[in-house]
Amino acid sequence: MKIKKTIFSLVATIAMAVGYNGVQAQSADANKTYTKVVDASADAVWSVLRKMDEIQNYSKGIVRLEWKGPKDVGGQRVCYAPDNQGFFKENIVDYSDVNRTYSYSVIEGVPIKGMVNTWNVVDLGYNKSMIVWTSKFEEFMENPQITKEQFFEFIDLSLNEMVGNVIAEAKMEAKM
């Protein structure tokens, strides 16, 4: 009976976090989704992930970042690859500290048409959270430099590295 109460309590906590706070963990129409449960509070994780102008600190695939405009909707970042020649340009199209989420459209530098990516941090209670990254796009554009499979393998590796580094930073900041 105690186990049933614990499970019910956990489900209720998640439902409240997702339903009543307006947080949508995953998008049903996303083309690609990445999730990671974290042993750290949502606030601790969001305090790191929300720093949109510091993502070069969490990915070795980005050596330099240029930021233009507000650190909110309307901001733009250009992320440069280690060779300093490859880059991708992104516009921030949605941002909410309350819901711990932001979205960005990738407007240049990737072989994907109409790509919009979203980061969410969902509070799971009991000092746990979940990082969710979703991507919606129209289509992969064939090109001689990279196949669709290679591109998404690169995305997976980049997300694993970046999320791992964000988690490490969030845990370190939470101890301070």
How many whole angstroms separate alpha carbon 79 and alpha carbon 161?
Answer: 16
Q: Does CATH place domain 25-175 in 3.40.50.300?
A: no
Contact indicator for 70, 52 with CB cutoff of 8 Å: no
The residue among 29, 58, 77, 57 whose CA lies nearest residue 131 is: 58
161: three-class secondary structure by DSSP: helix
Per-residue model confidence as pLDDT tens digits over 70-121: 989 999 999 999 987 799 999 999 999 999 999 999 999 999 999 999 999 9
Would you state the pLDDT for residue 73?
A: 96
Q: 72 is written with which tokens?
A: 């909110």
* Structure confidence by residue, pLDDT tens digits, 119-169: 999 999 999 999 999 999 999 999 888 999 999 999 999 999 999 999 999
For residue 85, the model assigns a pLDDT of 79
User: Where does the pLDDT of residue 5 fall: very low under 50, low under 70, confident under 90, or very high at 90 and above?
Assistant: very low
Q: What gap in Å lies between CA 93 and CA 145, rounded to an integer?
A: 28
User: How many other β-carbons are positioned within 10 Å of the β-carbon of residue 172?
Assistant: 12
